[in-house]
Amino acid sequence: MTALAGTTAFWTVGGLEGWRQAIAAETNGPYTPRFFTTEEWRFIEASCECLFPRDEVGPGARDLAVPRFIDRQMDTPWGRGALWYMMAPFEAGPPNLGYQLPLAPRDLYRTGIAGAERYCAKAYGKSFADLDTDTQIVVLTSFEKDPIDLDEGLPASLFFEQLLANTLEGAFSDPLYGGNRHLGGWVMLGFPGARADFMDWVDQYGPSYPLGSVAINGETAKGA
C-alpha cells in the first residue's frame, strides 16, 4: 500500500485548464458539492472551520473555500485512489509501513464522516454541525488522541489526520485547485505565491515583502 500523504493531483494540460475555468466560474457564486451529500457537506464545512477558524489574524476555512477544495479533490485520481497500489491483503502493520486500509481518500471521507456522525449522535444527540464550537473541539480532539474506531476498521485518528492535512492544503494551495480563495491564505502568511523570482528577499529578515501574492492563473492579491 502507498502511504497516505498530502494531495498530489495528476493533471493533463486540458484537465488543468478545465479546472481553472470551473473555479473561475464558481468564485463569486454559491458552490454545490459534487461528491459530498448534503449532510456530509455540513460536516465538512463545520469541521474545517473548527480546525481553521476565522480570527483577528485572518480568514477561516469557509472564507478560503477549503470545503470546496476538499470536495473537488474527491473527484481526482488521488481522491479515487488511482495513484495508489490498492490490492489485498490489507494487513495491520507497524506505523513505518504507513497507510494500510482498503479505502481510497473519497471512501475514507465517506466512512469517516458516517462514523463521526454516529459518534456525535450517541454522545450528544446531535449532528456534528449542530454542536457548539467548544463541543466540536472536544469531538475532534477525541478523534485525534483517543483510541476510537469508526466504520470498517478506520481509526478516528487517521480520519482526523487526513481531514487536518486537507484543510491546511485547501487554505494554502494555489487558488487554481479551489481553495485559498482570493489568495487569503497567502496574504495572511506574506507568501509571494507564483512569482517568477523573489530570491532577493530570501535572506532579508525583518522587512515585509512588498509585492503581494500572485496565483498561477495571474490573480493578484491587494498590493501585488
Residue 7: pLDDT over 90: no
Instruction: Find out whether 111 and 100 touch, Cβ atoms under 8 Å.
Output: no
Lowest model confidence (mean pLDDT) among 134-143, 183-192, 215-224: 215-224
- Taking CA atoms, 118 is separated from 32, 149, 200, 217, in Å, by 25, 12, 53, 41
> Residue 188: which of 217, 216, 222 has the closest Cα?
222
Calpha distance 98→67 (Å, rounded): 26
Model pLDDT, residue 1: 39
Looking at the chain, the whole-number percentage of residues with pLDDT higher than 70 is 84
Identify the bridge partners of residue 214 per DSSP, sorted by sequence position: 193, 220
pLDDT at 11 over 50: no
Instruction: Please give the residue that has the higher pLDDT: either 36 or 149.
Output: 36
At 68-100, the pLDDT tens digits run: 999 999 999 999 988 877 777 777 767 676 777
Mean pLDDT for the stretch of residues 50-70: 94
Q: What is d(CA 5, CA 177) in angstroms, rounded to the nearest whole number?
A: 17
Residue 12 has pLDDT above 60, yes or no: no
pLDDT tens figures, 94-137: 767 677 788 999 999 999 999 999 999 999 999 999 999 999 99
**Interacting residues of 157 by C-beta distance below 8 A, sequence separation 6+:** 143, 144, 145, 147, 148
Query: In angstroms, rounded to a whole number, what is the distance separating the alpha carbons of residues 62 and 65?
Result: 5
22: confidence class by pLDDT, cuts 50, 70, 90: low
**pLDDT: which is higher, 210 or 155:** 155
How many CB atoms are located within 10 Å of the residue 116 CB?
A: 24
Is it true that the peptide bond before 95 is cis, omega within 30 degrees of 0? no
Q: What pLDDT was estimated at residue 196?
A: 79
The H-assigned helical ranges of 52-154 are 66-73, 77-80, 105-124, 133-145
pLDDT digits (tens, 9 = 90+) for 159-181: 999 999 999 999 999 999 999 99
Which of 215, 98, 212 lies closest to 158, judged by CA?
98
Q: What percent of the chain has pLDDT over 90?
A: 54
Reduced to 3 states (helix: H, G, I; strand: E, B; else coil), residue 182 is: helix
Amino acid sitting at position 103: L
What counts of helices (H) and strands (E) characterise the chain?
8, 0
